[in-house]
Amino acid sequence: MKMVPATEPTRSSEPIADRETSHDDQETLQHQATATGGRSGSAKSEDGVLEVTLTVPKEMGGDGARGTNPEQLFAAGYSGCFLGAMKAVASKHGVKIPDDATVTATVAFGKREDGPGFNIAVDLEAHVPGIELEKANEVVEAAHQVCPYSNATRGNIEITVKAV
């Protein structure tokens, strides 16, 4: 995957809870997690449901200790969110996403080509048994327009989406 430059995102110093949202009368769902120790530390959700050890992958100079990393967590979150988005838009395309459908997110991490720092790129592959590939790709493209991860990263990183 080519590491493309990130554009400058819109920033706000206002806490999320105080911002106006486009959800009209819907409440904004918020979750919080705290990391300590950086890539060789831990992260925990505010409710304690998620508690992970963070380790540096061997490929990045780590010791190979058992644990996860931010890229794996991003891949897990994005793939789960994207499959949920597919289920949300499927009926508009005349299909129902089967229970055995999967989305695999491959997250590449590397140096930026245009200067200092690092970037990620994402490939999303949806496997939707029992649905024609053309129809599945319609659903995938529609999901890419509504998925919160897709919307948050659009224009910032390279993302490919497809049904397989």
Say how far apart CA 90 and CA 130 lie, in whole Å: 13
Q: Give the mean pLDDT of 93-103.
A: 98
At 18, the pLDDT band (50, 70, 90 cuts) reads low
Say how far apart CA 87 and CA 140 lie, in whole Å: 10
Q: Tens digit of pLDDT for each residue in 82-91?
A: 999 999 999 9
Among 37-46, 56-65, 87-96, 99-108, the range scoring the smallest mean pLDDT is: 56-65
Mean pLDDT taken over the chain: 89
pLDDT number for residue 79: 99
Multiple choice CATH, 69-163, 3.40.50.1820, 2.40.50.140, 3.30.300.20, 3.30.1490.20: 3.30.300.20
What ranges do the domains of the chain cover? 31-68, 69-163
CB 83 within 8 A of CB 148: no
pLDDT number for residue 4: 45
Q: What percent of the chain has pLDDT over 70?
A: 84
pLDDT number for residue 66: 95
For residues 12 and 66, the model is more confident at: 66
Say how far apart CA 86 and CA 138 lie, in whole Å: 10
pLDDT number for residue 25: 59
Assess whether pLDDT exceeds 50 at residue 164.
Answer: yes
The DSSP-derived string for 56-114 is --GGGT----S-B-HHHHHHHHHHHHHHHHHHHHHGGGT----TT-EEEEEEEEEE-SS
CATH (residue range 31-68): 2.20.25.10
Q: Tens digit of pLDDT for each residue in 21-53?
A: 554 556 788 999 999 999 999 999 999 999 999
Pairing type for strands 102-111 and 118-127 reads: antiparallel
pLDDT number for residue 28: 86
Supply φ then ψ for residue 26, to 5 degrees: -80, 145
